[in-house]
């Protein structure tokens, strides 16, 4: 996951528009599914949060399923989606479909501990936040302090969501920590490896 203060040169990715996207969105709304595919940045976060809030307004009793296939991205955006998943009243399920790495693991654990699922050939990767720090000595010192605070927040999140002690989480997140689907279940990040949509809770 990346700790990053967006500069003027950062350009949000363009989201496709047109009838094809509209049809897909309507189909997703009908099935109460949200696709989080690709790098986690502001444009994707905006779309995902909007869909989640719309689905929650449509029904607070029917579940929302978030499918995650992402290499990660901005930690702040990952936490933003996590917070919204916890904020809504509708039951939330997350399903990893391929890859959940870095900031995507924050989103992955946005569902309750008994509603996090993973497809058999998926991979999961935890690591500590990173940043490319530039600027004056004062700016670098401020950024270094902020990334330490972000690392602590991420560590505390995974302690809470896995039940593992802080020293284990700090050790494992110090470098890239890769897990298979079953290893992520055994680690406490996910509930179960599933082969079929019928295995998901209603």
Query: Which one of 102, 121, 130, 196 is the catalytic residue?
Result: 102
Long-range Cβ contacts of 8-11 (<8 Å, 24+ apart): none
| Residue the block writes with tokens 């109460």 | 32
Structure token pair of residue 136? 């004056």
Whether 116 contacts 185, CB under 8 Å: no
Catalytic status, residue 61: no
| DSSP string across 150-176 | HHHHHHHHHHHHH---HHHHHHHHSS-
Sign of dihedral through CA atoms 86, 90, 93, 98? negative
Catalytic status, residue 174: no
* Length of the chain (residues): 202
Whether 104 contacts 70, CB under 8 Å: yes
Q: How many helices (H) and strands (E) does the chain have?
A: 7, 7
> Measured between alpha carbons, how far is 175 from 178 in angstroms, rounded to an integer?
9
Query: Which one of 4, 70, 122, 127 is the catalytic residue?
Result: 127
> Would you please indicate which residues are annotated as catalytic (active-site) residues?
102, 127
């Amino acid at each position: 996951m990346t700790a990053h203060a967006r500069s003027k040169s950062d350009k949000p990715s363009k989201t496709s528009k047109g009838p094809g996207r509209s049809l897909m969105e309507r189909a997703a709304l009908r099935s109460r599914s949200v696709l989080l595919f690709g790098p986690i940045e502001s444009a994707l976060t905006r779309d995902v949060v909007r869909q989640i809030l719309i689905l929650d307004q449509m029904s607070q009793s029917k579940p929302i399923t978030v499918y995650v296939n992402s290499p990660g991205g901005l930690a702040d955006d990952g936490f933003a989606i996590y917070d919204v998943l916890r904020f809504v009243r509708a039951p939330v399920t997350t399903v990893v479909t391929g890859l959940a790495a870095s900031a995507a693991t924050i989103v992955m654990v946005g569902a309750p501990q008994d509603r996090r699922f993973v497809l058999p050939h998926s991979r999961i990767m935890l690591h500590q936040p990173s940043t490319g720090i530039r600027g004056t000595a004062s700016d670098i010192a401020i950024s270094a302090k902020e990334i330490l605070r972000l690392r602590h927040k991420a560590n505390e999140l995974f302690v809470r969501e896995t039940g593992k002690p802080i020293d284990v989480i700090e050790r494992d997140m110090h470098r890239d920590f890769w897990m298979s689907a079953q290893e992520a279940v055994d680690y406490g990040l996910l509930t179960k490896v599933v082969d079929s949509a019928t295995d998901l809770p209603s």
